[in-house]
Structure formats: structure tokens, C-alpha cells
Amino acid sequence: MTPQFFRYGVTGVANMAFDWVLYFITFHFILEKQMLHLGIVTLSSHIAAMIIVFPITFFTGFLLQKYVTFTASVLRGRVQIIRYLAVVIANLLINYAGLKLLVDFIGIFPTPSKMIVTILTTMFSYFSQKKYTFRGVKAKK
């Protein structure tokens, strides 16, 4: 196991646990398991909780990856955050589809559903962040 992979695991688990705790608190105590009515659209509580938690864990995840895991990247921070956002948006779409499938169609409770989907997105995210967002120095031939 490389030190980078270890750091990714530790920071990823820390941010994932933070995400799960915020999601649980938002779903159960802020939204109180109720639909969120926004005028022109109404969001189910499990989707609304995901959207509310997203900006917080986006920035904590980026900072952990940039300053702890992928420190050898030569890309500018502005480029990194835009690429990080692209990968996170892909993960957000996977999360949305996964939650809709698991909660609305299969009938699994929202918090365990979120945990299942997170495991899938974690695998996608590691390879995307390593090869795209925080690409390191290319070796000269």
C-alpha cells in the first residue's frame, strides 16, 4: 500500500464519516424526515438532505485531498478545484440515482442507502482524483 493510497483512505473515511453524520442530522433533525417545499419544486427529505450537505463536504473533501493526499500535484489550485468539482458532480449524479433506486424503488432506509452508494462512488472517485484532478509530475523519458 502506497502512502498516498493510505492517506486517501484516511482522509476519505474522515470526510465520508463527516458526510454521513451531517446527512443523518440534516435528514432527522433539520428536515425532520419531511419533504422540502421550495415553491416551484418539492424535494424528498433524503434528496434534500444530500443537497444541503453537499457544499460542506465538497470543500472539506477538496482541502483534505489537496493538502494531505495529493500534495505532489503541479496543477494550480484553481484547475484542481474545477476538476475536483467535475468529479464530485459525477459522484453527485451517481448518489442521486443510487438514492432514488435504493430508497424509492427498492425501499431501503435512506441512511443505509447513502452508505451503500458512497462505497461505489469512493472507488470511482479515487481513480478520478489520482489520474485527473491531482495529477502529479509526469516522469521524463
Write out pLDDT tens, residues 10-32: 998 999 899 999 999 999 999 98
Instruction: Identify the domain containing residue 80 by its residue range.
Output: 3-133
Domain contains 108: yes
Domain contains 72: yes
Domain contains 44: yes
First CA to last CA distance, the chain: 26
Dihedral in degrees, nearest 10, Cα atoms 128, 133, 137, 138: 50
Domain contains 138: no
Q: How many structural domains comprise the chain?
A: 1
Q: Which three cell numbers stand for residue 63?
A: 482541502
Domain contains 140: no
pTM of the model: 0.73
Domain contains 83: yes
Query: What pLDDT, in 10s, does the model give residues 29-58?
Result: 999 888 888 889 888 998 899 899 989 999
Domain contains 111: yes
Distance (Å, whole) CA 3 – CA 26: 34
Domain contains 94: yes
